[in-house]
Structure 1
Amino acid sequence: MTDVSTNSLVEKYHACKTVFKNMSTNLRQFLTNDIECKKQIQSKDLAKSCSVKIFGISWDPESDFYSIPCKLCYSENPTKRKVLKVAHSNFDPHAWDDPLSPSHDATWRAICENAKGFIVTFPRAITASGEDDRYELHAFVDASIRAFAAVVYLRSIDKHGTVRSSLLMARQRLAPINSQTKTLIVPRLELLALLIGARLTSFVMEELQLKLERIRIYYSDSKVALHWLQSTHNNGLFVNNRCKEIQRRLTSWISKGIPTYLHYISSELNPADCATRGFNKEELANHMWWTGPKFLVAPLEDFPNMEHFQWNTEIEDAKQQQPSPVNVAIHAIRTCQKSETGNLVLKFLRKTVFEKLRDDSKLLLRENIPELAIIAVNLILCLCNTTDMEIAEKLLIKLMQRKVTTSVIKKWNNFSITKDENGILRCFGRIRSNHLARDTLDTILLLPHHTLTRLVIEHLQISSGH
């Protein structure tokens, strides 16, 4: 904290103490270069040290100077890594160059001793890539109190029926270090494990560019995260957002014609279990981590009996049934009676909406508006001028205003609601001026809580820089 007077600094000191006291926290370790201010701070709140580091730089409060010692020193046989390390050692806010504590030193020594001499070998070619080969992706995910992980295997079957299983890619994340309660953190870690498993599978699919017969995701531990995927209730922003992404990825694979399954598997058959627990080199050398569980190289009919979890697709259906720009557009097309008007709206959709949608939303539009397939190859219809935009906008407004009944107009009688020359309901005001636009003088009636109203507000906020 800085200020121009001692009294102001003392006031800030008391204000900070009060704020943290209300949070049941005792704020201490105050240090100042103002001698008079220091006298007015309680001795129990003063810092015992006469110097402090601010962002890794030493500050002497008595002289009010920063000091940065130069740590450059020459060592024999320098390497680029050593030079870079020494050059960056002057600024070390996280104390990376500080010695480890005795307990951490012992732990690190044990890790190094355990990994010493470990060598892993694996084949370069993961598949023969024959024309008649069939491919499947099998992803395993797991979570513990310390970490969550996902690993993806490619299961290939050649024309002779020979099955191979190859490790493709794995990913591990450490659990947040500020979370201590296992009952609260583990279900969320399990959900995060499913999420990185879905993301990893999507990444592998894009990179491999193989025609896949099926995708299977295997999950162990508790079933809380699986029930979150199936739940239609509000489980909080964190859970809802991650469930939405997982469901979207699963649905997108199915929409591409790839059967997708979600299985519950026991921990002893889950290779991702070792990524969340940690193994020594003897255990890891012959672990199923490198090729996956044995059943992956067995015929499909010999797979163990695993619970097949059906995620609730009604969740996605319910979300799609909620008012959205896509559903509003679909409703507008279905309501259009004149082909000319319909073409204008199609051009409006193609120009301003369709190209900006996610793949699943595009699929929804194609299913409900087959005319869009024609628009894609018809360059004449794709030309959308300002007149088309205005007509399409007025059409959408009129479609919304169909819900305005006579009783509603009577209820809002003080707004002087009247139709204009285009059949659009407007609230005619008392102010008349040639300098104001028509929409400013006589505002268009927008229904509260309507999706189109929300979209108009969002558009105005974005265009005005809010």
Structure 2
Amino acid sequence: MGWLAPLLIRTKLFFQKLWIKNYDWDQPLKESDQKTWIELSQAATGFHKVISRKATENTAKHRLVTCADASTTTMAACTYIAHEGEQTLIMARTKLPSIKEKHTIPKMEMNAVTIAARLSLTIYEELRKAININEIVILTDSEIGLNWIKSPKEKKFRGLLVTNRINETMKIVEKLRDEGVDIQFGYIATQHNPADCATRGLTAEELKNHNWWDGPDFSRKHRREWPSETQLFTP
């Protein structure tokens, strides 16, 4: 489900670094790496969070809100289900870039938007028979990523990777539209973006009462009450 992504991302990055160092599977860690592993293990030990088993009402209309973010090391997306002022984390995903290639931040951010679109589609397809989901909003703090989505046919200066991610994202948009879902994209400031913490990590204490669990405050409200900077649009 990815709920503990902010707590575990540093461990995930540590494993990637061990891979880069070409450790054999049965090779003991160097002292510095052993120390790092112990610190990571202790930071994640003992985390406890009570999560409601019932996140929503079955018969009402619901909105999925998916937030995306990327750093130099990680891409992340997290999805919330919103209904009548309530909002709950449903699922999240993090992904590390390939160690064989170097990616710019804009490319990482576009990847994160596509991950968010995939996650939204997956959750919609899993829940649509049980819950009425009539709208999906994907939010990111990447203005260049949003501009790419606004003009999907403009290929100048984008490169193959970005073009492929835009094409995949637009196919997901079309599929959801065919299902009668209103899907929009918009901007969210970094300080309000819960996906940000999944790219940089949190301690167990920081995670307990973080907005990771219930998303941005504004997105639980009716869309006409959202900040003007969100600038929602339909691609």
TM superposition score category, shorter chain reference: 0.7 to 0.9
Report the counterpart of residue 8 of structure 2 in structure 1. Answer: none
1:102-141 aligned at under 5 Å gives the runs 102-129=31-58, 131=59, 133-141=60-68
From 211, 216, 228, the equivalent of 2:148 is 228
- Cα deviation 1:14-47 (Å, max 9, x = unaligned): xxxxxxxxxxxxxxxxxxxxxxxxxxxxxxxxxx
- Residue 269 of structure 1 pairs with residue 187 of structure 2: no
- Deviations 1:308-363 (Å, cap 9, x if unpaired)? 25465xxxxxxxxxxxxxxxxxxxxxxxxxxxxxxxxxxxxxxxxxxxxxxxxxxx
Normalized against structure 1, the TM-score is what?
A: 0.42
- How far 1:256 moved relative to its partner? 2.7
Is the 8 Å Cα contact of residues 261 and 308 (structure 1) preserved in structure 2? no
Distance 1:126 1:165 in 2: 8
Q: Give the conservation status (yes or no) of the 8 Å contact 1:151–1:197.
A: yes
Shift in Å, 1:233: 2.2
**TM-score normalised over the length of structure 2:** 0.81
Of 279, 293, 306 in structure 1, the residue corresponding to residue 216 of structure 2 is 293
Q: Deviation string for 1:124-153 (max 9, x for gaps)?
A: 111132x3x121110000000010011111
Question: Conserved in 2, the CA contact under 8 Å of 1:152 and 1:201?
Answer: yes
- Asked if 2 retains the 8 angstrom alpha-carbon contact of 1:114 and 1:281, the reply is yes
For the pair 1:167 / 2:167, whether they are aligned, the reply is no
1:177 CA displacement? 2.5
Distance (Å, rounded) in 1 between the aligned partners of 2:180 and 2:57: 24
Letter in 1 for 2:75: F
- Relative distance call for 1:311 and 1:257 in structure 2 (3 A) is closer
How many residue pairs match? The answer is 209
Gaps of 5+ in 2: 1-21
CA distance in 2, matches of 1:147, 1:156: 30
Answer whether contact 1:139 1:151 (CA < 8 A) is retained.
yes
Give the 5 Å matches for 1:208-227. Answer: 208-209=127-128, 210-220=131-141, 222-227=142-147
Amino acid at match of 1:194: V
- Deviation sequence 1:37-81 (CA, Å, 0-9, x none): xxxxxxxxxxxxxxxxxxxxxxxxxxxxxxxxxxxxxxxxxxxxx
Q: How does 1:302-317 map to 2 (within 5 A)?
A: 302-308=225-231, 310=233
The answer to which structure, 1 or 2, has the higher relative contact order (CA under 8 A, 6+ apart) is: 2
Following the alignment from structure 2 to structure 1, what is the Cα–Cα distance between the partners of residues 133 and 234?
Answer: 21
SS of equivalent to 2:137: strand
1:427-438 superposed matches below 5 A: none
Q: Distance in 2 between matches of 1:207 and 1:148?
A: 23
Distance 1:257 1:300, change over 3 A: same
Report the alpha carbon displacement of residue 175 of structure 1 after superposing the two structures with TM: 2.3
Q: 1:309 and 1:176 mapped to 2: Cα distance?
A: 31
Q: What amino acid is the match of 2:140? A: Y
1:193 aligns with 2:112: yes
Q: Is the 8 A contact 1:148 1:172 kept in 2?
A: yes
